[in-house]
Amino acid sequence: MPRMGEREKARARRRRRRRERQMKKNKLQWGRLIIAFVLALTVICGIGWGMYSGISYVYHRVTQTDTASEIEESSEPKHTDTVNVEQKALDKPVYLLIVGRDKNNPSQADSLFLMSINMNTNTMDIIGIPSNSKIESRDQKSASMLNQMYAEGNIELTKAVVEDIFHISIPYYVVVDEAAFKKTSDVLGSQQFYVEKNMEHVDAETGSKDIDLRRGYQNLDSDNALAYLRYTDENNDNFGRVQRQERFLKLWVDREQDTWFITKAWHIWRLWSHYESNISTWDAIKLMRSIGQMDKDHIHFYILPGEKEKINDVVYWHVNPTEAQRLVGITMGTLAPEDLSQFVSTPETKKAPVAVESEQSTRVKPSEPGSEPEKKE
């Protein structure tokens, strides 16, 4: 009997030790779970706070709700002599001249667009200006092309001449060179685009093809996108070139409108230092925010009205001054687009002649890249 009592006591001690070990193990597991939970919560809160701080910082800068003391000037990319962007009246939109310059020495204005942004009515008008627009001397005895103004006096002279064409003040400008365009295309990504015909060009210096595009739908990377925009028809038709540039620009605008605001702001933040501009990065983000709030039907594309004029075998674009002033009236809201009789490339304007191959009339999908586009019924 004593032995039985000892065995029972031994079993009881073993059971007690097992319970104690299990309790210690359970405590250890719970401790580890609690530590892991706290760490995970800390990481999540840190990420959330970082995102909230970043978004709030951008939002308050754009909406101008922060005080000056809360803003770090060191984060601003270097743009000297910037001008605050503001709309001074309902009928005085923000005018912005966009110039794409080539890599020649000296550079010329390869493409020009006058952008009118009305932040009160949430409308935007983009006017393509042919680079071969005829600029007459004061005595009207000689003429030169608009693209030459940049080579002679950079952006200031170019802006002054465009102001003279439209009889308006253009406070703001953005100059984009080929490297900046490629950077923009890389950041925004290649896009599906319909090339309306085969395009080839041989560089006179190297003898090799610098433009080689096939007709049809295709993804245009930065090099091919630049080639598409630079291509000039055999007859030096700059009007057709502006049409293609507007088609491409419209796709960019449409795609950026479909992205989140924080994504747009991030794109501007990454790209703006690559441009030459008198607009600060934060004002550029604010403009992008205003454009993003616009209905797509309130964004219109035009081409500066005029006609071709040939002088000594050189083809100029002879600007129609009356129609140019009508365009200004449209940007100010005093005229409807239907009042313009030439080169309206907006889908809402059915009565006015639409520029051939405008984006609105060619957004049809072929069966495969390089094939004929389907006809609209």
Quickly state the pLDDT bin for 51 (edges 50, 70, 90): low
Q: What is the pLDDT of residue 77?
A: 41
Q: Give just the sign of the alpha carbon dihedral 128, 129, 131, 132.
A: positive
Q: Is the pLDDT of residue 171 over 90?
A: yes
Is residue 343 a contact partner of residue 333, using CB atoms and an 8 Å limit?
A: no
- Using alpha carbons, select from 127, 148, 128 the residue that is nearest to residue 136: 148
pTM here? Answer: 0.70
Contacts of 139 (CB under 8 A, 6+ apart): none
Quickly state the pLDDT bin for 369 (edges 50, 70, 90): very low
Q: What is the pLDDT of residue 47?
A: 54
3-state secondary structure of 219: strand
- Phi and psi torsions of 91, nearest 5°: -95, 15
Quickly state the pLDDT bin for 127 (edges 50, 70, 90): very high
Adjacent-strand bridge partners of 259? none
Contacts of 237 (CB under 8 A, 6+ apart): 315
Average pLDDT over residues 24-39: 58
| HSE-up (13 A, CA, CB side) for residue 245 | 27
Is residue 25 a contact partner of residue 17, using CB atoms and an 8 Å limit?
A: no
Is residue 198 a contact partner of residue 215, using CB atoms and an 8 Å limit?
A: yes
Q: Is the pLDDT of residue 355 over 60?
A: no
Q: Is 133 exposed, middle or buried (0-12, 13-18, 19+ CB in 10 A)?
A: buried
Please give the CATH architecture assigned to the domain spanning 94-362. 3-Layer(aba) Sandwich (3.40)
Is residue 362 a contact partner of residue 247, using CB atoms and an 8 Å limit?
A: yes
Is residue 352 a contact partner of residue 326, using CB atoms and an 8 Å limit?
A: no
How do residues 245-255 score in pLDDT, each as one tens digit? 999 988 888 87
Residue spans per domain, the chain: 1-75, 94-362
Q: Is the pLDDT of residue 62 over 60?
A: no
Tokens of 302: 């035009």
Q: Is the pLDDT of residue 119 over 80?
A: yes
Quickly state the pLDDT bin for 189 (edges 50, 70, 90): confident
Q: Give, to the nearest 10 degrees, the angle between helix 261-271 and helix 2-63.
A: 70
Return the CA Rg of the chain.
31
- Using alpha carbons, select from 280, 129, 353, 105 the residue that is nearest to residue 205: 105
